[in-house]
């Protein structure tokens, strides 16, 4: 019997032979492939190892980064990879391993993580919420391995839940959108209605409302993190209903490209998306993960690591926005954004401070009140200037 195995990330499939490979053989083949990948340098859909030339004579810490998509997506995964590269530059004693296109549900992620552990990886950064079940399971089985789980809420002796207060950054991008719109219709393409995404959208809508109470945010769910074709279609659909600015919580820059195609403005997300639509993009919200990854690696090497909850802020430089496009954005907008940023950093301004009504007319926070972290972490409502539902 002859088999031809094709690898696409950790997925393996047989396309030649007399019958399907048995489950046992498939597992062996998966393990063999992942082992070979871990010792090879690769790109998109494979495994990349770094720091091969940084031998300091000291024992290196192996730290792996697992992503649901390609590190070159221009969005979420690119932001995490920039964090990985920042860590690698700061701490040459850390060997970083990048695994892309690892599905965040089912057995694929578990098999990948088990192989990493077998190869001596001590810290695994699981960069998608969907890896939670696998992280929880393996953390109990391997108490000496440390897991960083992004956007989750589980904390244990060897699990750290980490996130960034993205709503501070999206509040600023909302100000830009609210001041720049002429139709008072701002389109927003979003991935999945989970609390972190909802919180980001509401932060954006709060910024819009602060400068333009007449503007509406039209929300369209794509139910995909990374699907450029679907995301672009969503952007075009929002343009068709009158939006003159397109914003997003999506991993690819396809919404930016849709805006450019229609001659509209756009607001990016995850990383600076201006290179993808230089004549449309006004600014982008950006995550800065490097400081967190650096501190976690240092803590491990110093023997002080312990599971905790991390929620980085603008004050720490974790929540950022890209430089405003001076070809499109005037001085008045730029000045207001900078002034507001300083108020957020100092604590003078809170994004989610009352009075706040949701789009069903229910009071979420009374005047003089502000939402607690617990309320923000479990957010399941949309602001009253958002047209859409959960």
Place of tokens 């929540």: 319
Where are the chain's structural domains? 5-164, 166-286+317-387
Any idea which architecture 166-286+317-387 has in CATH? 3-Layer(aba) Sandwich (3.40)
Residue 26 has what pLDDT?
40
Average pLDDT value over all residues in the chain: 88
Residue 210's Cβ-count burial label (10 Å; 0-12, 13-18, 19+) is: middle
pLDDT reading at 361 higher than 90: yes
Report the pLDDT averaged over residues 175-199. 97
CATH of domain 5-164: 3.40.50.2300
pLDDT reading at 31 higher than 90: no
Structure-token pair, residue 372: 């607690």
Stretch among 53-67, 99-113, 195-209 having the lowest mean pLDDT: 53-67
Q: What percent of the chain has pLDDT over 90?
A: 82
Q: pLDDT by residue (tens digit) across 59-99?
A: 689 999 999 999 999 999 999 999 999 999 999 999 999 99
Q: pLDDT by residue (tens digit) across 241-287?
A: 999 999 999 999 999 999 999 999 999 999 999 999 999 999 999 99
Residue 122 has what pLDDT?
97
Contact 167, 203 (CB under 8 A): yes
pLDDT tier, 152 (very low <50, low <70, confident <90, very high otherwise)? confident
pLDDT reading at 105 higher than 80: no
Residue 371 has what pLDDT?
98
Q: pLDDT by residue (tens digit) across 194-206?
A: 999 999 999 999 9
What is the pTM assigned to this prediction? 0.83
Place of tokens 């088999």: 3
pLDDT reading at 52 higher than 80: no
Residue 286 has what pLDDT?
97
């Amino acid at each position: 019997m002859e088999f031809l195995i094709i690898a696409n990330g950790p997925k393996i499939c047989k396309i030649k032979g007399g019958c399907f490979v048995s489950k046992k053989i498939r597992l062996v083949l998966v393990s063999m492939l992942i082992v070979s990948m871990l010792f090879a340098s690769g790109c998109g859909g494979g495994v990349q190892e770094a720091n091969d030339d940084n031998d300091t004579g000291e024992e290196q810490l192996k730290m792996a980064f697992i992503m649901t998509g390609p590190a070159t997506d221009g969005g979420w995964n690119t932001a995490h990879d920039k964090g990985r590269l920042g860590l690698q530059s700061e701490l040459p004693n850390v060997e970083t391993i990048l695994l892309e296109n690892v599905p965040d549900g089912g057995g694929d992620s578990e098999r990948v993580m088990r192989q990493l552990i077998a190869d001596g990886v001590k810290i695994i950064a699981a960069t998608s919420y969907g890896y939670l079940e696998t992280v929880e399971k393996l953390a109990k089985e391997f108490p000496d391995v440390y897991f960083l789980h992004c956007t989750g809420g589980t904390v244990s002796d060897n699990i750290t839940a980490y996130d960034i207060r993205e709503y501070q950054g999206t509040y600023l991008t909302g100000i830009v959108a609210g001041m720049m719109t002429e139709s008072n219709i701002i389109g927003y393409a979003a991935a999945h209605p989970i609390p972190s995404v909802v919180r980001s959208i509401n932060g954006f809508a709060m910024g819009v409302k602060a400068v333009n109470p007449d503007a509406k945010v039209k929300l369209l769910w794509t139910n995909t993190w990374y699907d450029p074709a679907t995301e672009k279609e969503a952007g075009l659909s929002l343009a068709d209903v009158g939006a003159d600015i397109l914003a997003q919580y999506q991993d690819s820059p396809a919404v930016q490209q849709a805006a450019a195609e229609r001659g509209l403005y756009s607001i990016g997300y995850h990383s600076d998306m201006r290179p993808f639509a230089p004549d449309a993009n006004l600014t982008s919200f950006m995550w800065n993960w490097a400081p967190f990854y650096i501190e976690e690696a240092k803590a491990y090497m110093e023997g002080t690591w312990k599971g905790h909850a991390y929620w980085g802020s603008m004050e720490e430089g974790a929540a950022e926005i890209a430089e405003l496009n001076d070809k499109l954005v005037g001085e008045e907008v730029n000045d207001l954004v900078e002034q507001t940023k300083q108020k957020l950093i100092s604590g003078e301004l809170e994004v989610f401070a009352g009075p706040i009504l949701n789009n069903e007319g229910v009071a979420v926070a009374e005047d003089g009140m502000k939402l607690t972290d617990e309320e923000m972490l479990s957010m399941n409502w949309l602001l009253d200037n958002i047209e859409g539902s959960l």
